[in-house]
Amino acid sequence: MKRLKVLICAYACNPLSDCRLHPGEDITGWRFVEQISRFHEVWVLTHSYNKHALQEASAQELLGKVSFHFIDLTPALWWLYNMNIGRRLYYYFWQIAAFAHAYTLHRKVGFDLFHHITFGNDWIPSFTGAFLRVPFFWGPFGGGQKVPRTLFSTLTLRGKAAEILRDSAQYLARRILFPYRNSLLQRAQTVLVCNRQTHQRIPERFREKTKLFPLNGVLLEELQKQEPSGNNMFYILSAGRLDRIKGLDLALSSFALFRKKYPHSLFEILGSGPEEKRLKRLAHRLGIAQGVVFTPWVRREEVRQKLHKADVFLFLSLRDGGGAVVVEAMAAGTPVVCLDTAGPGFHIQPEWGIKIFPQDADTVVENVGEALATLHNNPALRKELGRRALQRAEEFYLWDRLGEKITQVYQEARL
């Protein structure tokens, strides 16, 4: 395929994720830009907070031919970042500025296509995708995932209110504030979504052009067989931000049930967040405080080392769109136990992990406890699931393979 002139919108695009604003989106934006630049000439519209890290990456020649265009808004609007909804409003205004820049840039360059990557959601459509008259590719994005109704009761009162506010904001965005969403879907050559719930929210007449495509990948050096922990303690690991949607109440309750039969077990929860104190109190109430370790977030290399040592990676997030850490666990050859929801439900299949259907909380806790017991009692099964998970990561989730698939998506559009 000939080298194309590709304009990318990647508001979040940062190889360091050092600003701590959008760490998951930052890495996603960076990796997709990195991969697309292997095959094409790339221009990137991104926020100015990424400037230092991207200029350093360019100086080290970590990319192909890429031109970054840093766009910012007046500092008077930065206060919006103090509110969850405010951040989305800021991004909405930023996209208007990005389109104005894209229009001017297109008149000089003459792009072959425009690809909107980050933010990756379906409820704040792309202004540039809607109005720049070049072939348009959208995604991969999520946004359609919701907390299962059967597990809504597990949230705190504040968590329930936040989820209701989120769902209401998305509904208004899709139906009222952004009436051109369907025309945007109509314009798109290809729509990439990262989970089945988001796929189901795409109107049926556009689903033929919609493909499931992962948000997350791994590097070749991250592929490594699981290493035994070296002791008799059964080691369960969970990792991620400690917030309302991570299902850690369910995880602690499941571990409490499991530990009654298997006291020589340890559950490490890796991460920080607003729910930390409450979760520690819950561990004490359940009588498992001695078997649970809360570890603040560490560097990615240390996370990978812990994944290699774990017997099981337990991830009961209620609505993670992507679930990058699940893919990292697969790359470490560690069997995963997760809920069959959103991103993790897409990544994990019975051949290389255990998915728990999101029924009521008591049933989920019982089923997760049984899954942990099954893996505890069957080392051969743990080893086989880990081997297949590693194989799946190598075959499907290597970033180089995902870059080739993106180019194939362009090629299938016959630009």
Nearest to 25 by CA among 399, 324, 305, 403: 324
Nearest to 266 by CA among 318, 227, 230: 230
pLDDT bin (cut points 50, 70, 90) of residue 373 is very high
Q: How buried is residue 209: exposed, middle or buried, by Cβ count under 10 Å (0-12/13-18/19+)?
A: middle
Average of per-residue pLDDT across 204-210: 93
Q: Would the pLDDT of 273 be above 90? A: no
Average of per-residue pLDDT across 256-261: 96
Q: How many CB atoms lie within 10 A of CB 211?
A: 16
Assigned fold of 220-396: Rossmann fold (3.40.50)
Nearest to 68 by CA among 13, 147, 135, 133: 13
The CA angle 306-309-314, to the nearest 5 degrees, is 70
d(CA 348, CA 392): 10
383-to-220, 308, 326, 336 alpha-carbon distances in Å:
21, 12, 17, 12
Encoded tokens for 374: 């099954």
Q: Is CATH 3.90.1150.10 the right assignment for the domain spanning 5-142+180-217+399-412? A: no
Which of residues 75 and 116 earns the better pLDDT score? 116
Q: How many CB atoms lie within 10 A of CB 299?
A: 8
CATH 3.40.50.2000 range(s) for the chain read: 5-142+180-217+399-412, 220-396
Dump pLDDT digits (tens) for 32-88.
Answer: 999 999 999 999 999 998 888 888 777 766 677 899 999 999 888 888 877 777 888
pLDDT at residue 226, rounded to an integer: 65
Mean pLDDT over all residues of the chain? 89
DSSP for 26-95, written as a single string: HHHHHHHHHHHTTTSEEEEEEEGGGHHHHHHHHHTT-SSSEEEEEE---GGGGGGGGSHHHHHHHHHHHH
pLDDT at residue 267, rounded to an integer: 97
Q: Which of 29-33, 74-78, 204-208, 363-367 has the lowest mean pLDDT?
A: 74-78
Nearest to 181 by CA among 146, 233, 216, 138: 138
pTM for the full model? 0.88
Q: How buried is residue 408: exposed, middle or buried, by Cβ count under 10 Å (0-12/13-18/19+)?
A: exposed
Q: Would the pLDDT of 413 be above 70? A: yes
pLDDT at residue 278, rounded to an integer: 94
Q: Is 210 helix (H, G, I), strand (E, B) or coil?
A: strand
Q: Which of 113-117, 193-197, 292-296, 319-323 has the lowest mean pLDDT?
A: 319-323
Q: Is 145 helix (H, G, I), strand (E, B) or coil?
A: coil
Q: Which bin fits 196, alpha (ψ -120 to 50), beta or left (φ > 0)? A: alpha
- CA 301 from chain centre, in angstroms, equals 18
Q: What is the CA radius of gyration of the chain?
A: 22
pLDDT at residue 240, rounded to an integer: 87
